[in-house]
Amino acid sequence: MDETVYVNEKGERLDGRKVDELRPIKIVPSVLSRAEGSCYIEWGQNKAIAGVYGPREALPQHIQDPTKALVNFTYRMATFSVSDRKSPRPGRRDIEISKVCGEALANAIFLERFPNTTIDVYVQIFDSNAGTRITALTAASVALADAGIPMRDLVAGVSVGKAGGHIILDLNKEEEDAPDAVDMPIAILPRTKDIVLLQMDGLLKKEEWLKAFELAVKGCNQVYQKQVEALKAKYGMPAIEHETQKEEKAVPQKPIPQPKKPVEVKPAEGEEEKKERVEEIKREMEQQIKEISEKKKPKIEELKFNSGGDNQ
């Protein structure tokens, strides 16, 4: 049986991507009308939806923290999301992913602003093909921003690993099942470079780990750019390039636009005649008012005669 070649001589993987290339990503914020914030994401074959509720009062009251809010992250996979039917009951993997993703988001949110409350994040995976925890975390981060919850930064993540002896970015299912496969999901806050999630399933040499980490940071910045673009497109703002993604390029200077001369608006045909007619009507009315006031005004001679008669 021929051995599977995960990266060929041209540097192409099984699905035609380069070793440092992400799968296609589609992010759509604000898709749930009854949630404070939500997000639908397609990451390769992965499809997921995230909803955010809160901050709201933490119940029962004994779980309340007077110093900060609590983040409850719930990760679930649909029974039809994998080839073999999955049990709807949450397993150890679901509980573990819920825990680490909740902790990652908690490092990005200003929890101290919402004491005695909970922020509930629900993520449902509809289709799965490796990297679902990062897919869920990416959607949840955008949903939190869509809910207007103050955050230090968006959480951007990606999976990096090893397959067929090559360090590659964003593993798919075939690469994740390679005999020497190593999977390392990582998530960061791009502005501060803080690592909020880092796990590794397998073993890597020090040189391989450093190469994988550098590749992962590059991938996180690409994901971050897509998150920002999706949010700006939703709220009608032009997308901008993040500082971590910018490259020094010679940008041609655009000429400064000169102020345009005021355009003289010519009156339409017949406009002058209308104005003259209006002025003529005003003059006629003023003349009539003047004549009426003069008729009602008593003459000075009559006033003198009447006053003299009274004295006699």
Give the pLDDT confidence of 177-205 residue by residue, as tens digits: 999 999 999 999 999 999 999 999 999 99
Q: Give pLDDT, residue 266.
A: 54
Query: 300 is in which domain, residue-wise?
Result: 275-311
Look at 168 and 285; give whichever has higher pLDDT. 168
Q: Is residue 45 part of a domain?
A: yes
pLDDT at position 245 over 90: no
Average pLDDT over residues 44-65: 96
What the block records as the tokens of 259 is: 């102020």
In-domain check, residue 32: yes
**Looking at the domain assignment, is residue 262 inside a domain?**
no
Residue 49 and residue 194 share a domain:
yes
Whether residues 209 and 291 share a domain: the answer is no
Percent of the chain predicted with pLDDT > 90: 69
**In this structure, are 143 and 229 located in the same domain?**
yes
* Rounded average pLDDT over 42-66: 96
Q: Among 211, 234, 257, identify where a domain stops.
A: 234
**pLDDT at 199 (0 to 100):** 96
Q: Per-residue pLDDT for 27 more than 60?
A: yes
Report the amino acid identity of residue 79: T
Which residues, 6+ apart, have CB-to-CB distance to 185 below 8 Å? 131, 133, 134, 157, 158, 159, 197, 198, 199
* CA 133 vs CA 125, 137, 178: distances in Å: 9, 6, 19
pLDDT on residue 275: 76
Q: Within this chain, do residues 161 and 304 fall inside the same structural domain, yes or no?
A: no
Mean per-residue pLDDT for 60-80? Answer: 96
- 223 with 297, same domain? no
| 242 belongs to a structural domain | no
Q: Does 31 share its domain with 133?
A: yes
Total domains present in the chain:
2
Which CATH number do you get for residue 56?
3.30.230.70
pLDDT of 200 reads: 95
Closest by CA position to 190, among listed 231, 228, 159: 228
Read off the pTM.
Answer: 0.75
